[in-house]
């Protein structure tokens, strides 16, 4: 565990970057520091590995004051990932990843074998090993940065806005990859971001900091969204925090219907028997092709070239109510398509049904809170 106890950082000109900050960062978790510019997020992160020395207070790592450790030993026990990866441009990818093991005295072959193993773990093609950073995309470079930070198997990983310089699609992929890696390795991760959506998605715990480096609230993401500590936190979370909260409600219990699902070769009798105003048409393997309006259907002849797009499907159980609602809202017919892991349709669900599930989830959540309070 990392314990930050009344830590302050005051610069010679009197500027206070961090003001009496206290946090307990659990082992094997992702703790996210989030807040506006100038709130001390990066300064706090850098005090953990002593790139910045605190003016007051103490930071304990597994009960030991980090000031009592040699700074080089401390830093080698912590992986560090920054924006734009910070790679050595004159070294190949495999040698970039092998940097810390080589500094620790590993042989070249052993270090490169470890690098190759980590390339696979972070989703990098082995063929990239002998390339240089400038030959990789931004997302690939960030994966190299993560692999390099993990190379010596440090128990602690510090990440300073590592995904902020890439586009939204790549960023989502990197976030998903980090969650997968964390599920496998169970590191103690301290992650800095200015993006509240990223904080909510990644954080086991989220620390919201005010300007001047003061702690506004420290809580699990679901609690942060449901019970912001004050107006500052509420404003920082944004007007759509209720939608974000749906990310913590599972979709497994949604009542799906297959009444509005027909195969492309459905006969007239099957089409006529279906009461729904729109029909989801599937291919022979049960995968969605698109929506057909009843008035566009001729007896026994579904024109697959005239179907409306089915939008983005969701996977019940794996995806949240927020994802299901988003799929329904974006659907041209207002219905979300549910699929299994193989992409085969398991049913469809209306916005109305999703709304009922959301109300039920809120009611159950309030009941649980009252039970705990009682």
Instruction: Give, for all 374 residues of the chain, the pLDDT tens digit.
Output: 899 999 999 999 999 999 999 999 999 999 999 999 989 999 999 999 999 999 999 999 999 999 999 998 899 889 999 887 789 999 999 999 999 899 888 999 999 999 999 999 999 999 999 999 999 999 999 999 999 999 989 999 999 999 988 888 899 999 999 999 999 999 999 999 999 999 999 999 999 999 999 999 999 999 999 899 999 999 999 888 888 889 999 999 899 999 889 888 765 555 666 667 788 999 999 999 999 876 665 545 667 778 899 999 999 999 999 999 999 999 999 999 999 999 999 999 999 999 999 988 877 766 565 564 55
In this structure, what are the phi and psi dihedrals at residue 258, rounded to the nearest 5 degrees?
-110, 5
Q: CA–CA distance from 97 to each of 111, 142, 147, 212 (Å)?
A: 8, 12, 6, 36
Tell me the pTM.
0.84
In this structure, what are the phi and psi dihedrals at residue 293, rounded to the nearest 5 degrees?
-80, 150
* Domains in the chain with CATH codes: 2-248 (3.40.50.300), 261-358 (3.10.580.10)
């Amino acid at each position: 565990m990392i314990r930050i106890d009344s830590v302050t950082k005051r610069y010679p000109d009197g500027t206070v970057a961090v003001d009496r900050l206290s946090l307990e960062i659990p082992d094997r978790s992702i703790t996210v520091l989030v807040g506006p510019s100038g709130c001390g997020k990066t300064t706090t992160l850098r005090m953990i590995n002593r790139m910045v020395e605190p003016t007051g207070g103490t930071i304990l790592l597994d009960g030991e004051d980090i000031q009592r450790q040699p700074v080089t030993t401390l830093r080698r026990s912590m992986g560090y990932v920054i924006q734009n990866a910070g790679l050595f441009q004159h070294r190949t990818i495999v040698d970039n990843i092998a940097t810390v093991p080589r500094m620790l005295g590993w042989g070249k072959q052993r270090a490169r074998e470890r690098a190759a193993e980590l390339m696979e773990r972070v989703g990098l093609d082995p063929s990239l090993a002998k390339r240089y950073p400038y030959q990789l995309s931004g997302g690939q470079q960030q994966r190299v940065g993560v692999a390099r930070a993990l190379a010596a198997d440090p128990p602690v990983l510090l990440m300073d806005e590592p995904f902020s310089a890439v586009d939204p699609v790549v960023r989502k992929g990197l976030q998903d990859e980090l969650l997968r890696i964390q599920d496998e390795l169970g590191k103690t991760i301290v992650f800095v971001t200015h993006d509240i959506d990223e904080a909510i998605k990644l954080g086991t715990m989220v620390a919201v900091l005010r300007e001047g480096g003061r702690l506004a609230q420290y809580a699990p993401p679901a609690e942060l969204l449901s019970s912001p500590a004050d107006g500052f936190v509420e404003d920082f979370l944004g007007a759509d925090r209720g939608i974000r909260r749906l990310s913590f409600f599972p979709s497994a219990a949604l009542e799906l219907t297959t009444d509005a699902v027909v195969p492309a070769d459905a006969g007239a009798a099957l089409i006529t028997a279906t009461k729904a105003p729109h029909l989801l048409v599937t291919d022979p393997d049960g995968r969605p092709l698109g929506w057909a309006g009843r008035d566009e259907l001729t007896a026994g002849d579904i024109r697959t070239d005239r179907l409306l797009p089915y939008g983005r499907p969701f996977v019940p159980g794996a995806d949240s109510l927020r994802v299901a609602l988003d799929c329904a809202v974006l659907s041209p017919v207002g219905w979300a398509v549910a699929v299994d892991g193989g992409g085969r349709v398991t049913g469809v669900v209306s916005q109305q049904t999703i709304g009922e599930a959301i109300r039920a989830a809120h009611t159950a959540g309030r009941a649980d809170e009252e039970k705990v309070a009682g």
